[in-house]
């Protein structure tokens, strides 16, 4: 089984990378990204420290999971919501922003796994924290080149993203003008669209909102995906205690 898998993968790779259109391209880093406000237009932001201090004073200690959720995804001061975290002006850069090779290899792997699963009629691609949509774009490019292999399988893309600004950029890069936001803010799917090839794309705030179906499902994300909730705990004398944050002065 392993030998068969390797042979199939090698054949798929040869079909993808033997085409002239897939020559390696190194993506040029932009000096400014969409999240950075123009110089002179910075507005004062609420302090996350002040927000957490007020919250702990009012309600008492908070679990580490809640602390991480506030710091990363708070709609006003969350790191992933308002910060320019990608690229030369940000905090990190991921492989898909450097070259398309990483995403194209993942696309080959996804098709190989789909074949190994018995070629189901539906294939769900789920990405957590899609960044600017570069990884998804590279994967979809490979799937379009291997359309004859996929046959009549129905492929759909599901993106889990908490940043409104990033979701708009992903929609622009993946669907152009063929996407629309949901009318109600509490809908699980807050944006829908389709690629130029007609492949449906959906956006969610939580992984739990992605519908499960009788399909082969591929979940993944690059180095910048959003971490799931952490719930650290310690065991003392056989009792499990979850760790939390308290106010340094009041002890609450």
- pLDDT tens digit string along 34-48? 444 445 444 444 688
Name which of 7-11, 16-20, 25-29 the model is least confident about. 25-29
Residue-wise pLDDT tens digits, 76-89? 888 887 766 777 77
Q: Higher-confidence residue: 21 or 96?
A: 96
- Per-residue pLDDT, 97: 86
Q: How confident is the model at residue 3 (pLDDT cuts 50, 70, 90)?
A: very low
16-20, 204-208, 236-240 — most confident range? 204-208
| Full DSSP string of 139-172 | HHHHHHHTHHHHTT-EEEEEEE---HHHHHHHHH
The pLDDT, as a whole number, for residue 204 is 95
pLDDT for 184 = 84
- Checking if the pLDDT of 113 tops 60, the result is yes
> For the domain bounded by 93-220, which CATH number is listed?
3.40.50.150
Q: Where in the chain is CATH 3.40.50.150? A: 93-220
Q: What angle do CA 17, 133, 118 make, to 5 degrees?
A: 55
Alpha helix segments (H runs only) across the chain: 2-17, 48-59, 64-73, 79-82, 101-116, 134-145, 147-150, 164-175
Phi/psi for 181 (5° steps) reads -80, 155
pLDDT at 140 over 90: yes
What pLDDT is attached to residue 66?
A: 87
pLDDT of residue 80: 80
pTM for the predicted model, two decimal places: 0.72
| pLDDT at site 62 | 84
More confident residue, 99 or 244: 99
The residue ranking higher by pLDDT, 173 or 4, is 173
């Amino acid at each position: 089984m392993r030998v068969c898998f390797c042979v199939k993968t090698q054949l798929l790779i040869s079909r993808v990378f033997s085409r002239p259109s897939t020559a390696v391209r190194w993506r040029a880093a932009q000096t400014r990204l969409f999240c950075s406000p123009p110089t002179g237009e910075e507005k004062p932001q609420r302090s996350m420290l002040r927000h957490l201090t007020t919250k702990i004073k009012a309600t008492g200690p908070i679990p580490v999971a809640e602390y991480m959720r506030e710091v990363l995804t708070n709609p006003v001061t969350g790191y992933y919501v308002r910060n320019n975290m990608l690229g030369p002006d940000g905090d990190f850069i991921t492989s898909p922003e450097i070259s398309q090779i990483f995403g194209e290899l993942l696309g080959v792997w996804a098709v190989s796994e789909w074949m190994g699963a018995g070629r189901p009629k539906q294939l769900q691609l789920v990405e957590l924290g899609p960044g600017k949509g570069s990884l998804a774009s590279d994967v979809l490019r490979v799937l379009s080149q291997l359309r004859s292999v996929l046959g009549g399988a129905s492929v759909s893309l599901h993106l889990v993203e908490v940043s409104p600004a990033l979701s708009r950029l992903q929609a622009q890069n993946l669907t152009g003008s063929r996407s629309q936001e949901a009318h109600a803010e509490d809908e699980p799917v807050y944006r829908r669209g389709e690629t130029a090839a007609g492949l449906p794309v959906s956006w969610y705030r939580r992984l739990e909102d992605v519908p499960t179906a009788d399909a082969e499902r591929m979940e993944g994300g690059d180095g910048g995906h959003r971490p799931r909730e952490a719930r650290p705990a310690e065991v003392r004398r056989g009792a499990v205690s979850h760790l939390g944050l308290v106010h340094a002065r009041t002890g609450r």
